[in-house]
Amino acid sequence: MQQVEHWMWRIAAGLVVPMPVLLLYALAPAEIVLTVVAVLFVIHAVLTRHWTWLRQPWVVVAVLLWGQIIMSSVVAQEVHGVMQSLCFGRYFLFVAALQTWVLPDIRIRAVLARVYGGVAIWLVAGCWQQYICGRNIWGYGRWADGALLGPLWAPRVGSGLFMTALPGLFPVAIRLSQRDGMRGRIMAAAMLLGLILTMVLVAQRMPLFLMLGGMGLAGLLVPRLRGGLLAVGVLGACGVALSPVLAPQAYNKLVVNFIAHMHAFADSPYGMLFIRAGVMIRQHPWFGLGFDGFRHACPDPTYFHGLPWLGIAEGPYGGATGCNLHPHNYYLLMGTMGGMPAMGLFIALVACLLVQIWRGLTPARDPQRLMLAVVATLVFWPVASTSSFLTQPSGGWLFMVTGWALAVSPVASRLQYVHGRD
């Protein structure tokens, strides 16, 4: 029995470590890995009677949220939607598997950190290669809106770089800044400046804002990093100021389009998605539209309305132009799937996760844990444009960092299962 469990753990660890690469280049295999690890974890729990992880507040709230999504799907959808809602729980099982089974092993965490760092360096190199040569390694130029693709074939490099650089490279910068003398601080500032300039060239707004937010939080919590980050901020602002000459596509995307969207938010694509999701939640406040309901109901003229309670009148906000596969916000996604109860439970879930992730954290002592907590906080920030965590790569990045951050939390150490010691 112990040998079977040992091989199951080795398989799960072997699947988790290359996840950052799969989330860039093999989205279907990444979804399979997430599901397989969740299933192996359940089998492991049955074989070892390892159920202490169920006592955590976040697990209790996650189960309630899962139940609400299932019930909403039963009310609003047919058999296919109900089956999809039943599979929704695999995401929470994957997080628990990382927290209490796969990543308690410090050696696996060290390997995973190196993989994250290596992927971040690969993305940075690919972005600069495409910027200098005009084409990336696959022969693609910039995306239609001016965004760099880096070593990918779709505009996903910004989110990938944010999710890998903060846990993979920022801890190195923090350790460099803590060395005696100025050399370490200068090296740390140079590393962070390179990341910011790369993000400016990538020209994806939300990843850039998240990267800046991560740097800001790191500067607040690690005093020796503040001087370097201040210099990086000044030089980064200079880079944006020079972007009309050096990278006009990036300037148009980051500055011109952003100002236009903020000036007339309701008329922007993001505003139309917000309005459409708000109309759906207003019309179905208790059960929503079931699993992934926004995707299926978005073209329905029933929801082609404004939001009078927000001062958004009827008019140009209806129609198929306000449609997409998801509402570009995790909280609105949950509200459209399970109504206000699901949104409330999701808020409670995020609160439980972040309390556990941040509790007892000493930033200067554990930069790896600090950056995982920072990333987890930023990805759950409610005022943000996001992809859907029901698909890859967004779901993979989100649940990987959540499970990893929980695994290094000493609060949860008593719940962890380490092979041969439980």
Please write the tens of the pLDDT for every residue from 192-202. Answer: 999 999 998 89
* Mean pLDDT confidence for 205-215: 94
What letters, b where the CB count within 10 A reaches 16 and e where it falls short, cover 74-104?
A: ebbbeeebbebbeebbbbbbbbbbbbbbbbb
Token pair of 306 as six digits: 């404004």
Return the pLDDT at 272: 86
Q: What is the pTM of this model?
A: 0.94
Number of Cβ atoms within 10 Å of the Cβ of 159 = 21
Return the pLDDT at 237: 81
**By mean pLDDT, which of 162-166, 364-368, 376-380 is the weakest?**
364-368
Q: Write the CB contacts of 352 (distance below 8 Å, at least 6 apart in sequence).
A: 56, 57, 58, 61
| Percentage with pLDDT > 70 across the chain | 94
Residue type for 159, please? S
Give yes or no for a contact between 210 and 158, defined as CB atoms under 8 angstroms apart. Answer: no
Alpha-helical (H) ranges within 98-179 are 106-133, 157-168, 170-177
Residue type for 165, please? A
d(CA 209, CA 215): 10
Given a cut of 70, whether residue 220 has pLDDT beyond it is: yes
* Mean pLDDT confidence for 133-155: 91
**If DSSP codes are grouped into helix, strand and coil, which group holds residue 194?**
helix
Name the nearest CA neighbour of 372 among 347, 329, 403: 403
**By mean pLDDT, which of 133-137, 347-351, 412-416 is the weakest?**
412-416
Return the pLDDT at 51: 93
**If DSSP codes are grouped into helix, strand and coil, which group holds residue 73?**
helix
Instruction: Give residue for tokens 């978005």.
Output: 298
Instruction: Please report, in angstroms and rounded to a whole number, the separation of the first and last CA atoms in the chain.
Output: 13
pLDDT tens per residue across span 40-85: 999 999 999 989 999 999 999 999 999 999 999 999 999 999 999 9
Given a cut of 70, whether residue 416 has pLDDT beyond it is: no
Residue 323 main-chain phi, psi, to 5 deg? -105, 155
Name the nearest CA neighbour of 116 among 165, 60, 155, 54: 165
Return the pLDDT at 420: 46
The mean predicted confidence, pLDDT, of the chain is: 91
Return the pLDDT at 421: 44
pLDDT tens per residue across span 127-137: 999 999 999 99
* Mean pLDDT confidence for 358-382: 94
pLDDT tens per residue across span 293-337: 999 898 888 888 888 777 776 665 566 666 888 999 999 999 999
DSSP-assigned letter for residue 33: H
pLDDT tens per residue across span 274-286: 989 999 999 999 9
Any bridge partners for residue 312, and if so which? 307
Any bridge partners for residue 307, and if so which? 312
d(CA 349, CA 89): 14
Given a cut of 80, whether residue 422 has pLDDT beyond it is: no
| Percentage with pLDDT > 90 across the chain | 69
Return the pLDDT at 153: 93
Q: Give, for 223, the enclosing helix (H) or strand (E).
A: none
Residue type for 80, please? H
Q: Which has more pLDDT, 210 or 234?
A: 210
Return the pLDDT at 126: 97
Give yes or no for a contact between 392 and 27, defined as CB atoms under 8 angstroms apart. Answer: yes
